[in-house]
Structure 1
Amino acid sequence: MKTRLNHVRVNVSDISKALKWYEEMLGFENDGGWPHDKPTYYDFKSEEGAKFAIMEVKGGNSYGRFNFDVEKVDELWESLKGKVEVVESLFDTPWGTRKFTIRDLDGNELGFAG
């Protein structure tokens, strides 16, 4: 069976803090929240491929790792390295890219390669 990833969501413990972190720390732009009166879920805008979202979940969490392709990975690394929890510092991969991995506020791992 062939699949095409179209949506990824991570669980967060505090939607307001997480939304602020993803927008201000990483520069993601939200594409709207749900429910409209008091959102506990946000999608982020994407150009192509899978949509990325966060959802507030109380009483437990499941952690994941998500990898994002970015154009200026070295610049992003320089802007984040002293401000976030680093899992893997920037390195050269065997596939000819450069990559680093950080944790968000809830322990989810976010990899950035370019």
Structure 2
Amino acid sequence: MSIQPFIRCNDITVSLPFYTEVLDFNTLQAPDPDPTSFMSMYAFLERDGDRVHLSQHAGDGVFGNVIYVNVTNLDEVYKGFTNNGLTVKDKAGITMQPVEQTWGMKEFSVADPDGNRLTFGQDL
């Protein structure tokens, strides 16, 4: 089984660089450059075999999603994101630095430009 979330965004031209340049996703399908095309507001991304869809379309998700991402190398992922310029910011950036939780996970969270949160976690 493969689950591929749709992540709603206000502006694909802002969200796409955040996911590809900061969070290191690869673009499988870029938005159509023709602004009149239905596909001009959509992108399909991949990282380490996991895939997500970015969409500006009203029916594709809601703002404020929370996505949990299990990783085996949390400190490396965090370091990679901060090396890419991710910092603590009001709108997009780190919302929780790595912390060992009482439920046996080490986690950190990131907000995208539209307030969707991705929490990255690793078993302790």
Unaligned runs of at least 5 residues, structure 1:
none
Over aligned residues, Cα RMSD in angstroms?
2.5
Aligned-partner SS, 1:62: coil
Unaligned runs of at least 5 residues, structure 2:
88-92
Amino acid in structure 2 at the alignment position of 1:53:
H
Single out whichever of 88-97 and 22-31 deviates more from structure 2: 88-97
Q: TM-score, normalised by structure 1?
A: 0.75
How many Å separate the matches in 2 of 1:87 and 1:40?
27
How many Å separate the matches in 1 of 2:34 and 2:26?
19
Deviation at 1:95, TM superposition (A): 4.3
- Aligned-pair identity (%): 21
Kept in 2, the 8 Å contact 1:65–1:110? The answer is yes
Greater share of residues in helix: 2
Deviation at 1:100, TM superposition (A): 0.4
1:28 counterpart = 2:25: yes
Kept in 2, the 8 Å contact 1:33–1:40? The answer is no
Q: How many residues align?
A: 107
Single out whichever of 32-41 and 16-25 deviates more from structure 2: 32-41
Amino acid in structure 2 at the alignment position of 1:29:
N
Kept in 1, the 8 Å contact 2:63–2:114? The answer is no
How many Å separate the matches in 1 of 2:20 and 2:31?
17
